[in-house]
Amino acid sequence: MPDKSGRQLAAVIFTNVVGYTAMTQRNEEEALSAQMRQRDAVASSAGEHGGKVVQHDGDGSLTVFPSAIAAVSAAIDIQRVLAIDSPVPV
């Protein structure tokens, strides 16, 4: 039964690009590409697992899911996608 106050349980994941500042100092284009790949992967995975991106903040993304299983499944998918070709550390 839904809570009449509008509250709900949710699982939250926050992802960010590891070493983004150092990456930016070395090569801004590479860093921006990594940031865009991370955002695309998060948005795609959130959609596939019933989640919603609440906010992108720099190289990080805050995403909510209806269950812990959905959040973990999305996190695994994000890591798999970002490990392809030129890996993005998250």
Cα R_g (the chain), whole angstroms = 15
Q: Is the pLDDT of residue 1 over 60?
A: no
Beta 11-16 vs 52-57: how paired, if at all?
unpaired
Measured CA to CA in angstroms, residue 89 lies from 30, 50, 66, 68 at distances of 13, 24, 26, 22
Q: Where are the alpha helices (DSSP H) in 1-90?
A: 20-26, 28-48, 68-82
Per-residue pLDDT reduced to its tens digit, 50-85? 999 999 998 999 999 999 999 999 999 999 999 998
**Which residues of 7-51 form beta strands (DSSP E)?**
11-16
Q: Domain 11-82 - what CATH class?
A: alpha beta
Q: Is the pLDDT of residue 4 over 80?
A: no
Backbone φ and ψ of 82, nearest 5° = -80, -5
Per-residue pLDDT reduced to its tens digit, 17-46? 999 999 999 999 999 999 999 999 999 999
pLDDT category at 8 given cuts 50, 70, 90 is: confident
What 3-state DSSP class applies to 63? strand
d(CA 11, CA 43): 16
Tokens of residue 43, six digits: 């948005």
pLDDT category at 90 given cuts 50, 70, 90 is: very high
pLDDT category at 2 given cuts 50, 70, 90 is: low
